[in-house]
Amino acid sequence: MKKLIKVMKALSDPGRVKMVKMLAVKEMCVCEIQAALELSQPTISKHLKVLEEAGLVASRKDKLWVNYNLTDGDDSTYARDVLEKMSTWLEKDPEIKTLKKKLKKISRDNLKKC
């Protein structure tokens, strides 16, 4: 039950939902996510932690960067099922579409400062 609640709560925030939709496209570091959404760096970090603790997202260090990606949902049935649904949900949502376009132009290399 607790795990289900964590998954649901994790996806109860627009910012976190956007992050999941973005990470479905590609692995991203915190500063890239920050450039896509307009939230402060600590806020991004906090949200990512919530997603991580719900078993939806995992991180991998690469030198100075921490790359985040979606898990395959092996943490729980809930995580797996919901991630599967998330891959179809919001595909036609205008806000998400715009976000995905924006994503193409974002790379850690063209971010002067993270």
Partner DNA sequence: TTTATATATTACCATATGGCAATACACCCT
Partner DNA sequence: AGGGTGTATTGCCATATGGTAATATATAAA
Instruction: Enumerate binding residues for DNA (CB under 7 A).
Output: 9, 12-13, 15, 29-31, 34, 38-43, 45-50, 59, 61, 63-66, 108, 111, 113-114
Query: 7 to 36, contacts with its own copies by CB under 8 A?
Result: 8-9, 11-14, 17
DSSP at 112: S
Pick from 39, 58, 66, 96 the residue near its own copies by CB under 8 A.
Answer: 96
What is the strand order of the sheet 57-62 is part of?
28-29, 65-70, 57-62
Q: Which is nearer to DNA, 40 or 77 (CB)?
A: 40
Residue 95 binding its own copies, by CB under 8 A: yes
Q: Which is nearer to DNA, 23 or 31 (CB)?
A: 31
Task: Give DSSP secondary structure letters for 10-48.
Answer: HTSSHHHHHHHHHHTT--EEHHHHHHHTT--HHHHHHHH
Asked whether the beta carbons of 7 and 80 are under 8 A apart, the reply is no
What is the smallest separation between the CB atom of 30 and its own copies, expressed in angstroms?
A: 23
